[in-house]
Amino acid sequence: MLLSALGRFNFQNLIFGEMRITVLRDQSTRGYFPWMLAFGILLNLPGLWLDIMEPDGALYATIAKHIVLSGDWINLIGDGHDWLDKPHLPFWIAAASFKLLGITSFAYKLPAFICWLIGLRYIYLTASYLFKSDVAKLSVLIYVVALHSVLANFDVRAEPYLTTCIIAAIWHLLGIYTGKNWSHIPASAFFMACAVMVKGIFALVIIGSGWVIFWILSKKWEQFTNYKWWVALGLCLTFILPELLSLYVQFDMHPEKIVFGKTHVSGLRFFFWDSQFGRFFNTGPIKGKGDVFFFLHTTLWAFLPWSVGLIGGLVYLIGYEKQFIQIRWVIYGCALVSFIIFSLSRFQLPHYIIIVFPYLSMITAHYFLSIAAHPVLKYFVWMQTGLLLATGLLIIALLYSTGINTAVLATAVTIIIVIAANTVPTENLLVKLVCKGYATAAIIYVFLFFFFYPFLLKYQSGRRAAAHIPASESLIPTAAYKSFSYTFEFYAPGNVRLINQRKELAQYLNNRPCYLYTTRQIADSIQHAGIEMEILARVDHFHITKLKKDFLTPKSRRGVLEARCLLYFGSKHLVKY
């Protein structure tokens, strides 16, 4: 249906520019914008109060926790050893939040959420300049509820920070290009530096690629020697000195440290090469197995509920907009180069694609407004209705197939949302389309944040075990043996020692009183050895980020669960374990 509709749609007959936007004012969503924006932000909020998920989010939170407890802001420690995988800035920000608000899930996620909100403003500013205000508003509405954008605010890693830093840098670079206030030069340098200190030097390739493509296509060769760009780049390299200094102090000054199983590992070399280019060429210490089509199918589900509109927008861009070489190619080129780099890289994870969502949102919004007065829009409304109904049915099926106790309530909420979306009192097709998209998003996020994730998080055993250690006993030694859990490390009130050897365990248990988090098998063997202990908690464990059919099915769930125990050793007793 989509291809048929697109085939009948004559792109060349579209009027492009100021006149077209003026004609389509009545077809925009401007009157609904503040309410939809508020609703979209509201859909993102519940995830802030849910537990942090393993592995990455909980690992990053434990690194920031170590900064606070140790007072060491230079040496990053993760997994019980020096940690080199990511730059410092996200951990510094999270640690600062912990200092202000306490070491909690909310305090970890809040800075990323605030940064995401700032990104909304920069998306609006950028789209307003490159397109028009109606496109800017619709771009923001699309981005706010795009699936992986919302999930990134719940399962916080580096992407909320990186996405905002990149789009903010591009906006201020536009200010430099148009000769506006000189303050855009240090502002662009600041955000470029922040992007580099979040993800690595490759961020500069992402930011600069769109500009290079635009200059080449428009034959603006003089821009390559424009001193303003070089001043901004020089300031950027100056602003990243705290990161370079920290890496030098932690690694380059200590060649004896074992990192990635080797000594003489340079933190600076890793930062400038192995971390980014090494992953791309698969020559660094961290390797992956890439699939050139991975991000094609990933984007289709990660950009829900706007995937069909994105396809239409890309077809429109290729079939019509390619004839016009204008400054919009800054974002087109940035999105294209980012997508190609991700696809060719051998190290691929779904959340990487989030950084191009602002540009995909603009492309989709521009397309929707371009066809707002054209009959083809009704096909997109029909498809959005179909997606809404399919999503509702799928979620109801998941509710009952997984045996979630609140399935009846969740089903009722889903049905109410579907009915409300199909009774919106307007004849504006664009408003109907956006409302149905938001209804689909509401169904998904209400299901995830109020029903599904609370059900899953019960099986993060580390979090549940840590809840049995009183906050007042943060100074009592706590350790994990043969069952490392980032959530246990984070939610336990003090530092958690990671033990690998039986001899080390015996030495630890002689330093009583102490807590030990371990497997049921280890707990049984300690008990059979006659060592005095108290079992404070027995909790079920499952790797919830790797869901399996047997886990989701109530009848077979028990067979795939593992048992974890929290042990307390209270009295002095020599252990020869």
The domain that holds 564 is classified in CATH as 3.40.190
Phi, psi of 120 (to 5 degrees): -60, -40
Structure tokens at 40: 């979209």
If asked whether residues 81 and 218 sit together in one domain, one would say yes
Is residue 342 helix, strand or coil?
helix
On whether residue 576 sits in a domain, the answer given is no
Structural domain boundaries enclosing 109: 2-370
- Measured between alpha carbons, how far is 304 from 310 in angstroms, rounded to an integer? 10
Q: Assess if residue 82 is contained within a domain.
A: yes
Tokens of 417: 């949302």
DSSP 8-state assignment for residue 52: P
Residues 24 and 113 in one domain: yes
DSSP character for 49? G
**What's the confidence (pLDDT) of residue 280?**
61
Residue 276 lies in a domain: yes
Q: Tell me which residue of 272, 283, 298, 297 sits closest to 345, measured CA to CA.
A: 283
Cα dist. 374→22, 60, 433, 533 in Å? 15, 48, 14, 74
User: Are 183 and 94 members of one domain?
Assistant: yes
> Same structural domain for residues 215 and 302?
yes
Q: Angle CA(182)–CA(198)–CA(64) in degrees, nearest 5?
A: 130
Phi-psi sector, 264: left (phi>0), alpha (psi -120 to 50), beta: left
Extract the tokens encoding 245.
């200094």
Asked whether residue 344 is assigned to any structural domain, the reply reads: yes
User: Residue 503 has what pLDDT?
Assistant: 87
Q: Which two tokens stand for residue 497?
A: 């020692």
315 in a structural domain = yes
Burial class (CB in 10 A: 0-12, 13-18, 19+), 81: exposed
| Reported pTM | 0.89
User: What span, in angstroms and rounded, lies between the C-alpha atoms of 274 and 7?
Assistant: 46
* Domain end marker among 337, 370, 403: 370
**Same domain (yes/no): 450, 538:** no
Regarding whether 453 and 560 lie in a shared domain, the answer is: no
> Per the domain annotation, does 574 fall within a domain?
no
Distance of alpha carbon 389 from alpha carbon 23, whole angstroms: 33
Provide CB contacts within 8 A for 239, sequence distance 6+. 189, 190, 192, 193, 194
Q: Let me know if residue 412 belongs to a domain.
A: yes
Of 436, 457, 478, the residue that ends a domain is 457
In the structure encoding, which two tokens stand for residue 318, read together?
Answer: 């290729």
Strands 562-569, 514-519: pairing is antiparallel
Tell me, yes or no, whether 38 and 175 share the same domain.
Answer: yes
Q: What is the pLDDT of residue 262?
A: 84
Domain count, the chain: 3
Which residues of the chain have a pLDDT value below 70? 1-30, 277-291, 321-325, 346-348, 571-577
Alpha-carbon distance values, 436 to 3, 51, 133 (Å): 21, 30, 22
pLDDT in tens, 235-290: 999 999 999 999 999 998 998 888 877 888 888 888 888 777 656 655 555 555 66
Residues 132 and 279 in one domain: yes
The residue out of 341, 370, 399 marking a domain boundary is 370
Are 209 and 293 members of one domain?
Answer: yes
Q: Looking at the structure, do residues 349 and 430 belong to the same domain, yes or no?
A: no
Alpha carbon distances (Å) from 241 to 64, 151, 184, 276, 526? 20, 32, 20, 18, 50
Does residue 145 fall inside a structural domain?
yes
Query: Do 453 and 416 fall within a single domain?
Result: yes
Q: Which helix (H) or strand (E) holds 536?
A: strand 534-541
Residues 538 and 443 grouped into a single domain:
no
